[in-house]
Every structure is written in structure tokens, then in C-alpha cells.
């Protein structure tokens, strides 16, 4: 039997060049959307509704939803909060439905929905999302990086490498993809000391300038939660 | 004075997310278009006219041009030859104007033309194209990888790393780009033994299947020519 293929796409803008109709898609936006989504479910959120545009996020607020929304790291004025994982505390969001719109992450989730199934990946749920992939009996794997406004992001590719390494250690999976090889290389260079490696990541410095880099330890520490948010009928939920 | 910025774009499809109006652009399609173009000028070609579509290439043939044209590595039936650097021999092409159309390379050249100036880069002219960049008195640098049908290609990014390393060793240049950092990492992992590194490159195996991998030694050996093909009024020429 042919092995199940592992693929990485560095930007949602390039996803159209891949056939994902037979792939389980893991969406990755490490700084900070998918890390924050994992934090929300770790703290008991009921669902998260990904919202592509600012206008739709505003409409959700008017309809009474709790709204998390940012652009370029800054919370939008009408939103309840932005996309720091630390915003999604249990006292605030447990049992709630949250409308969520971010610069790059929600666009990636929307594009991913052509796949067989869609899950949210981040270092906090690395082991859990790898297990989610491996528990599926068939289908390829697409790790979809959110990137940054159509450009390559090292931190997303780094996570793609960590996840690909885990999945490829299972002999049912294989890859012939240059973007997977590249991601594995980033992870091999970084894994002994991730925080030193991050010094070269542009988004790390963007967040520092905005005073938002307190999230680094949370965003790059693996396996603090076993929750895997999945997209079901346009909503992210955990089973 | 602000330092001149070095940037890498992994695919022509993503170039629209960068402002290249103040950038000198180096187009890179290592296997095999830009390596072949450098071979052509090393062997005395007068000009190369990049042709985006198969239809236009056919038209050029009807108009009497010598035509080099391939898709997916295979020479098109109406063309004089494909895009192996070994096709562009002096006895065949010295003093000639050649119409040239390839899967990814000519698309990249077309997109690059929004920049301040456009040159062709490959390992055969690595030192020369780095010098070309540094001789420009102002302007940023965009290294534009042709990639493969909208997807990431490791061999193009590898060259981008080699070129970026050379240019950034000049203190007038700097970068904050994740794609530059990634490219530098590939090059740092590869440079001690490029041919071993290539074993993980997908296009290397695509070419092998087609019996076209005889070009590897030429395509990954640096500095066999000092010619830098530049785009002038839609034609590639050397000064």
C-alpha cells in the first residue's frame, strides 16, 4: 500500500497549488492565533467561530458574541480582546462561544476547509495533534502555515518541522516534499534550544516592539494541553 | 543611513506581497532555467527573450527564432531544444537570439520586471551576480526563487542562501526577513557537501526519473562564468 503523504504549505496563498481533497489539514499560526485557540479550549471554551473580515467580526459583536479580533498584533477597538493566549482565561471564556478574527490565522482556517478534516496545531498541543493525525485510518496530511501577509514565517515552519518529525516517525507516513525537508531542517537546528533559535524570527521582534512577547514561553512549550480543536460546520470545537 | 535590505521570495506567486519598486531583483531557477541562461551567455548567446506561454513560444518559432522550450523538464515538440545547460553550446547558439520558455523560470522573470533592475542568478555566476548587486549604489535586493508550480523548492532557496551570505558580508546590507534566515540556514547545512545535501531535493529526483540529472554538477558548481544576464527592454543580455 502506498504510504500516506506528509506535506507542508508555507502560506495559505499557495494552498491552491496543492490537492488537499484527500488530506487532513493542520492549521498553524504559532504567533499567536493557533496557540491562543489551543489556550481557549484548554480553558474550557465551548466553540470558536473563525471570522475572516473585520466587518464580519464587528457584526458578530453586534449580535452579542464575545469577540476576539486583532490586526498586526493590535486588538481591534470593538473587540473584547485580542489574540494573546493569556486573554483566553477560564473565568472569561469557559463554556462560551467566541468569534475570532486575526491577521493571518483565520484566512488559513478558511482555506483549509477544502480538506478531509481540519485541526488546529500549536506547540501547546503538538503531541495531541500528531496523535489526531495518526488516529485517522487513511488520508494524507497537509500542515498549513498561516505565514505573515503572504510571506514566509519561520516560527510556523519550525512547528511544521516538529509535527512532521513526529508523524514521519510512524512508518505508515512518508514525504517527497521540499517544504517538509526544509521544515525538518529548521526543527533540527532549533530543538536543542528553541528560545535561542527564536532570536532570528521576525515576528518575535514585531511582538517585542508592541510589548506582546510575554507569550513566547507559552507558544513554544510543547504539550501543555491534549485538546485538539477541529473545524465542524464552520466552528472550532473539541470532541 | 539605513542599510540596504536583502529579501528572499520563495515563489513568484507571492511576489505581490512585497514592494520591489526600490529593489534590484535576482531571478533564481537553479534546476534548470537560470543555470541554462548563464550557460548560454557563457557560450556567447547574443540575447535571450523570455516567453511566458507555450503559444507564444510556438509563435516565436514560426517567426524564425531559435526556440528553447520545456514543460516539466520535457522539451516541447516544436522547440529546437529544452532547458538543459548542455543544450546551449557555443556552436549552436553563439551570436544568436533565443526565445526561451520554461515551466517556472520565465514566469519569475516576468514578475521581476517591476523591480529597479533584473538579473539572472545561478551557482555558475554566483560571485558575479553578488558583485552586480554590490556595484549598484543604492536600492534593496530581492532574490526571487522560481519555485515549482507555486510550491517551495529547496535548491532555489539554497542558492538564495549562498547569495544572501555573500551580499550580507558587505556591511551596507542587512535583513530582517525570515525567508532570508531560512535560506542562510539551508546554505549553512549544505555548503560543506552540496551534493550530499541535494539527495533530499525533490526536483533532483524528478530529473533523475527523466534521465536529466546529468546537469547537477554544472548547476551546483559556483563561479564558472562572470557573465550576469540582465533584463533590458524585455530581453536578457550581458553588458
Cβ within 8 Å of residue A92, ≥6 positions away: A81
Q: With cut-offs at 50, 70 and 90, classify the pLDDT of residue A239.
A: confident
For residue A205, the model assigns a pLDDT of 86
Contact A150 B185 (CB under 8 A): no
pLDDT of residue B128: 98
Grid cell at residue A187: 526543527
Residue pair A127/A223 in contact by the 8 Å Cβ criterion: yes
Query: What is the distance in angstroms between the Cα of A70 and the nearest Cα belonging to chain B?
Result: 20
For residue B201, which residues of chain A lie inside 8 Å, CB to CB?
178, 181
Q: What is the pLDDT of residue A103?
A: 87
Q: Which of B33, B124, B21, B42 is nearest to B72 (CA)?
A: B33
Highest mean pLDDT among A198-207, B176-185, B209-218: B176-185
B201/A179 touch (CB, cutoff 8 Å), yes or no:
no
DSSP B155-205: HHHHHHHHHHHHHHTSTTEE---HHHHHHHHHHHHHTT-HHHHGGG-HHHH
Residue % of chain B over a pLDDT of 90: 89
- pLDDT of res. A116: 98
Note the pLDDT of residue B219. Answer: 96
The ipTM (two decimal places) reads 0.95
Which 8-state DSSP code applies to residue A32? Answer: T
B214 at the A interface (CB within 8 A)?
Answer: no
Residue from B123, B119, B124, B150 nearest B136 by CA: B119
B-chain residues near A203 (CB < 8 A): 178
Tell if the CB–CB gap between A186 and B189 is shorter than 8 Å: no
Query: What is residue A114's predicted lDDT score, i.e. its pLDDT?
Result: 96
Give yes or no for a contact between A141 and A81, defined as CB atoms under 8 angstroms apart.
Answer: no
- Percent of chain A exceeding pLDDT 90 equals 89
pLDDT at B45: 97
* Residue B211: predicted pLDDT: 86
- A70-74, A116-120, B183-187, B230-234: least confidently modelled range: A70-74
Query: DSSP class of residue B114?
Result: T
* pTM for the predicted model, two decimal places: 0.96
Tell me whether A209 touches chain B (CB under 8 Å): no
pLDDT over 90 (residue B73): no
DSSP H or E run through B101: strand B97-101
> Which pLDDT band, with edges at 50, 70 and 90, does A207 fall under?
confident
Q: Which of B150, B20, B32, B12 has its CA nearest to residue B83?
A: B32
Chain B contact for A185, CB < 8 A? yes
Cβ within 8 Å, pair A13-B10: no
Residue A186 CA to residue A154 CA, distance in Å, equals 8
- Is B57 in the A-facing interface, judged by CB distances under 8 Å? no
Domains and CATH numbers, chain B: 4-32+103-234 (3.90.1560.10)
Higher per-residue pLDDT: A204 or B183: B183
Res A1 pLDDT > 80:
no
- Given this model, what pLDDT does residue A13 score? 97
**Per-residue pLDDT tens digits for A90-104:** 999 999 999 999 988
pLDDT at A204: 86
Taking residues A38-66, report their average pLDDT: 96
Reported confidence tier of residue A215, pLDDT bands at 50, 70, 90: very high
- Choose the weakest-confidence range: A2-11, B88-97, B195-204: B195-204
Q: Across the interface, which of A14, A179, A202 has its CB nearest the CB of B178? A: A202
User: What is the number of CB-based contacts under 8 A between chain A and chain B?
Assistant: 80
- CA separation for the pair A77, A72 (Å, rounded): 13
Quick one: three-class SS letters along B28-86?
A: ECCCCHHHHHHHHHHCCCCEEEECCCHHHHHHHHHCCCEEEEEECCEECCCCCECCCHH
CB contact under 8 A, A205 and B176: yes
B175 touches chain A (CB under 8 A): no
pLDDT at A211: 86
Q: Are B153 and B117 in contact (CB under 8 A)?
A: no
**What is the predicted pLDDT for the residue at B59?**
96
Q: Whole-number mean pLDDT of chain B?
A: 96
Query: Is A14 close to B181, i.e. CB distance below 8 A?
Result: no
Dihedral class, residue B95 (left if φ above 0, else alpha if ψ from -120 to 50, else beta): left
What is the bridge-based pairing of β-strands B230-232 and B235-237?
A: antiparallel
Q: If you average pLDDT over residues B132-141, what whole number do you get?
A: 98
Of B148, B177, B182, the CB nearest to A186: B182
The pLDDT of residue B204: 86
pLDDT at residue A233 in the model? 94
Considering only CB atoms, A178 lies closest to which of B14, B18, B153, namely B153
* Residue A226 burial by Cβ neighbours in a 10 Å radius (0-12, 13-18, 19+): middle
Task: Please report the pLDDT score of residue B213 as a whole number.
Answer: 85
The rounded distance, in Å, linking the Cα atoms of B24 and B138 is 9
Interface residue of B14, B144, B178 to substitute, partner A, most A CBs within 10 Å: B178
B72 touching A (Cβ < 8 Å): no
B132 with B121: CB under 8 angstroms? no
- CA gap B166, B176 in Å, rounded: 16
Predicted confidence (pLDDT) at residue B78 exceeds the cutoff of 80:
yes
Question: Does residue B182 belong to the interface with chain A, where contact is any CB pair within 8 Å?
Answer: yes
Amino acid at each position: 500500500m502506498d504510504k500516506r503523504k506528509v506535506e507542508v504549505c508555507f502560506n495559505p496563498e499557495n494552498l491552491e497549488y496543492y490537492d488537499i481533497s484527500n488530506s487532513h489539514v493542520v492549521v498553524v499560526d504559532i504567533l499567536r492565533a493557533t496557540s491562543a485557540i489551543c489556550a481557549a479550549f484548554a480553558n474550557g471554551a465551548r466553540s470558536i467561530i473563525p471570522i475572516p473580515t473585520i466587518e464580519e467580526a464587528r457584526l458578530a459583536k453586534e449580535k452579542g458574541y464575545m469577540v476576539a479580533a486583532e490586526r498586526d498584533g493590535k486588538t481591534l477597538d470593538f473587540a473584547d480582546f485580542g489574540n494573546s493566549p493569556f486573554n483566553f482565561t477560564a473565568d472569561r471564556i469557559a463554556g462560551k462561544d467566541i468569534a475570532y478574527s486575526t491577521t493571518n490565522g483565520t484566512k488559513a482556517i478558511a482555506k483549509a476547509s477544502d480538506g478531509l478534516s481540519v485541526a488546529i496545531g500549536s506547540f501547546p498541543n503538538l503531541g495531541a495533534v500528531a496523535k489526531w493525525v495518526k488516529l485517522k485510518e487513511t488520508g494524507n496530511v497537509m500542515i498549513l502555515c498561516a505565514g505573515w501577509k503572504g510571506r514566509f514565517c519561520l516560527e510556523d515552519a519550525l512547528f511544521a518541522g516538529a509535527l512532521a518529525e513526529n508523524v514521519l516517525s510512524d512508518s505508515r507516513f512518508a514525504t517527497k516534499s521540499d517544504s517538509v525537508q526544509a521544515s525538518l531542517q529548521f526543527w533540527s537546528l532549533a530543538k536543542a534550544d528553541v528560545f535561542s533559535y527564536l532570536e532570528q524570527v521576525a515576528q518575535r521582534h514585531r511582538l517585542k516592539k508592541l510589548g506582546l512577547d510575554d507569550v513566547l514561553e507559552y507558544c513554544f512549550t510543547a504539550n501543555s494541553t491534549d485538546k485538539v480543536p477541529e473545524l465542524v460546520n464552520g466552528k472550532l470545537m473539541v470532541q
